[in-house]
Amino acid sequence: MSIFVDERTNVVIQGISPTSQGLYHGLRNRAYGTRVVAGTNPKRGGEEIEGIPVFATVAEAVEATGANASFISVPPKFAADAIVEAAAAGVPFVVCITEGIPAQDEAVTYNRLVREFPGTRLLGPNCPGIISPGKCNIGITSGDIALAGGPVGIVSRSGTLTYQALHELSQQGVGQTSCVGIGGDPVPGTSFIDCLAAFEADPDTRAIMMIGEIGGSAEEEAAEFITGSVTKPVVSYVAGVTAPPGRKMGHAGAIISGSKGTAQAKMEALSAAGVTVALNPTEAGEAMVDVVRALG
């Protein structure tokens, strides 16, 4: 199986135009086999772009095509409104790859979803998206580096390390059920815990790889959740071991203050939870290969 998306997922691309990044990545997703059924653009309703019917609103697209997932790649200024529009149209799964959305906008939007649209899950923003190999790919991850069949589920805050994890495992013949890039912004719509719970419930996922990074407390919270709620083996790598306190590193959420949010603190919490903690991405891949071999 897979989590969140599969071969039955119907995707609407919000903000589609002949020159948009959404179209570029959406066409790559469609070439992978993803069912891209619609696009939206208030100025191009009724048109068709690269064989994709365009509607003025998400609500119209959902009604006409049965879209049950949205792919948002619009400028930061419009992203929050796009997320809410999708939720208001009843779309249950929204992927937003937009980078640079103000943290206040993220916080307001997240809380609106929780309060007004609890049936909608947001992945991102500022994330690579999700791929369930052989079934569905929404976002910017290259399908060439993923291997279908499981048994490993991947969840990562880092986009680049998401790709490396996929590649490391695929090179060793270890397939993936789903790979979820949750993004590194301060207010992610989907958390480590959300993904860990979904992988724990998925019978085809037999081991989990979790890639964290400095900043915040998400990894420590995940460690606590793993202790009480995850029975499957988990391998983890935390990026940013050499980052100095108070220095922002890459993602908006990757900043540490004093002893909080450091890679070392996160690694210690995960190790105490029984997680196999690697010191670099390649070591994490090798550790997961060993775990899968031991599964029999």
Amino acid residing at 154: I
| Pick from 84, 155, 89, 160: nearest CA to 122 | 84
Handedness of CA 108, 89, 117, 185 (dihedral sign): negative
Q: Please tell me the distance from the alpha carbon of residue 15 to that of residue 20, in angstroms, as a whole number.
A: 8
Amino acid residing at 236: S
* Peptide bond preceding 186 in cis form (omega within 30 of 0): no
Q: Please tell me the distance from the alpha carbon of residue 111 to that of residue 124, in angstroms, as a whole number.
A: 14
By the 10 Å C-beta count (0-12 exposed, 13-18 middle, 19+ buried), 104 is classed as exposed
Largest CA distance in the chain: 56
Return the number of other C-beta atoms located less than 10 Å from residue 51's C-beta. Answer: 8
Q: Please tell me the distance from the alpha carbon of residue 93 to that of residue 83, in angstroms, as a whole number.
A: 10
CB 130 within 8 A of CB 180: yes
Return the number of other C-beta atoms located less than 10 Å from residue 30's C-beta. Answer: 18
Q: Does the active-site annotation cover 251?
A: yes
| Pick from 129, 133, 119, 186: nearest CA to 155 | 129
| The one catalytic residue among 236, 251, 266, 276 | 251
Q: Which residues pair with 237 in a beta bridge?
A: 211, 278
CB 271 within 8 A of CB 277: yes
Q: In this structure, what are the phi and psi dihedrals at residue 110, rounded to the nearest 5 degrees?
A: -60, -45
DSSP three-state, residue 111: helix
Catalytic residues: 251
